[in-house]
Amino acid sequence: MSAGTPGLDPALRSWVDSANDPACDFPIQNLPFGRFRRDEGEELRIGVAIGDRVVDLEAAGLFPHQQMKQLLRTSPFERRALRHALVEGLQHGSPQRGTLERALLPLASVQMGLPCDIGDYTDFYVGIHHATAVGKQFRPDAPLLPNYKWVPIGYHGRASTINASGAAFRRPVGQVKPPDSDTPVLRASARLDFELELGIFIGRGNAQGEPIALDGAEDHVFGLALFNDWSARDLQAWEYQPLGPFLSKNFASTVSPWMVTLDALEPFRRPWQRAAGEPLPLPYLDGEANRARGAFDVHLEVWLQTAQMAAAGHAGERISRSSFADAAYWTVAQLVTHHTVNGCRLEGGDMFGSGTLSGPLPDQAGSLLELTAGGKAPLRLPNGETRTFLEDGDTVILRASCEREGARRIGFGECRGTVLPAPKM
């Protein structure tokens, strides 16, 4: 871990008692940023999660603005100074307790919004196990296309339909080509799916025409969050050639409310390396620092709560688990560098989706498309229900955490979304 990053000592404790619970997602070593409101209609305010509380940064006198875009544009030095002030004020025995205590609100009493106003959204495809598993369903002998191991594949998504965690959305309607018909039909998607992803939030941007070099790429990343890129597989199968996803993806996505900073993730870095026989990236995507510490070991889980479970008071069942470091073929820094190598301008608040983060084993799949072999092998739930794809009333919950010996466990909170019936046509 970096000696210059404050608040990473696993022995550090807070006077906010709930933050000292080993199972807590938001100990003092985490301190993720998000936006909240106290009442409906109020402007969103910048907050930092600590235990089961949120610190109102403006009320605490730690950041005079309430516009997240101003915080995103700060330099790494300024953000680290803010983190230092938070650690100093929230640690056990701090003389600043009285001031900060007045700026604390129970998380249960506030409404969380999107972590920032999302400008542009690019969805990548870095999960090599997902790409391989899906590719095998269409091209058994050559699941990965020739460019996959050379280019971080991505497409431009729709930021206007990214929802805050907890929001429900309607099942999408679109064109579907039935296998026994010569013409498509307009109907509600019958193959609605989730995708387990991480969202990567850009902090400082770059000028158009000025690429971001790999060694400085992480200075432009504010933090990571959980991301569910809902997908209508039947719409996707008909529309995706030759230009890729369109209506099958842009109807809804869901992001968790907290951006976990790269400072908080410092203890959970891992070397990034390719397996023997894999091609090395082109020089602009390769570097010693990226190889030594470019991967982040984030443990990921998918939970499914059906309407029947919810009615019975059941919190849901875990149906998959995987790891960002094991799933991703490219690092966060490589995505930033490749996105700008052609001169593309990034701005604070832009978001990247990682792509589906499936592990190498069947039960580590990050989508129902994989878990059910394209709907051919239904997923059987402990209460007797089965799923090939999502049904109305289903709620999908994504969770993530980082753990290792010698470091304090941190979490991401949860990313939750519920499927509503399609609108009447």
> Residue 92 belongs to a domain with what CATH number?
2.30.30.230
- pLDDT of 1 above 50: no
Q: Are 262 and 204 in contact (CB under 8 A)?
A: no
End-of-domain residue from the set 80, 112, 144: 112
Q: Are 214 and 290 in contact (CB under 8 A)?
A: yes
pLDDT given at position 260 = 98
Smallest CA-to-CA distance from 31 within 261, 206, 218, 257 is with 261
401 and 264 in a common domain = yes
Q: Which pLDDT tens digit goes with each residue over 264-315? A: 999 999 999 998 999 999 999 999 999 999 999 999 999 999 999 999 999 9
Q: Which pLDDT tens digit goes with each residue over 93-149? A: 999 999 999 999 999 999 999 999 999 999 999 999 999 999 998 888 889 999 999
Residue 73's domain spans which residues? 17-112
Q: Are 383 and 314 in contact (CB under 8 A)?
A: yes
One-letter amino acid at 155 equals Y
How many structural domains compose the chain? Answer: 2
153 and 73 in a common domain = no
The enclosing H or E element of 293 equals helix 288-293
Q: How confident is the model at residue 425 (pLDDT cuts 50, 70, 90)?
A: confident
Q: How confident is the model at residue 392 (pLDDT cuts 50, 70, 90)?
A: very high
Q: Are 379 and 386 in contact (CB under 8 A)?
A: yes
Average pLDDT over residues 139-161: 94
Mark whether 92 is an active-site residue.
Answer: no
Q: Which pLDDT tens digit goes with each residue over 210-262? A: 999 999 999 999 999 999 999 999 999 999 989 999 999 999 999 999 999 99
Q: Is residue 76 part of a domain?
A: yes
Report the distance separating Cα 309 and Cα 384, nearest Å.
11
- pLDDT of 3 above 80: no
379 and 258 in a common domain = yes
Number of CB atoms found within 10 A of residue 341's CB = 15
Looking at 129, 130, 299, 338, which residue is catalytic?
Answer: 130
Q: Is residue 400 part of a domain?
A: yes
Smallest CA-to-CA distance from 25 within 54, 67, 60, 46 is with 54
Average pLDDT of the residues of the chain: 96
Q: Which pLDDT tens digit goes with each residue over 34-83? A: 999 999 889 999 999 999 999 999 999 999 877 899 999 999 999 999 99
CA torsion angle for 357, 361, 367, 369 (degrees, to 10)? 130
pLDDT given at position 4 = 66
CATH number of the domain encompassing residue 411: 3.90.850.10
End-of-domain residue from the set 112, 135, 152: 112
283 and 259 in a common domain = yes
φ and ψ at 323, to 5 degrees?
Answer: -140, 135
- List alpha helices for 21-176, DSSP H: 68-72, 76-90, 97-101, 128-138
188 and 247 in a common domain = yes
Q: Is residue 238 part of a domain?
A: yes
Residues ≥6 apart with Cβ < 8 Å to 188: 171, 172, 173, 421, 422, 425
- pLDDT of 16 above 80: yes
Residue 416 corresponds to which tokens in the numbers above?
Answer: 């939750």
pTM > 0.95 = yes
pLDDT given at position 5 = 85
Q: Is residue 302 part of a domain?
A: yes
- pLDDT of 6 above 90: no
330 and 281 in a common domain = yes
327 and 211 in a common domain = yes
Q: How confident is the model at residue 365 (pLDDT cuts 50, 70, 90)?
A: very high
Letter string b/e over residues 190-199, b meaning 16 or more CB atoms within 10 A of that residue's CB: bbbbbbbbbb
45 and 149 in a common domain = no
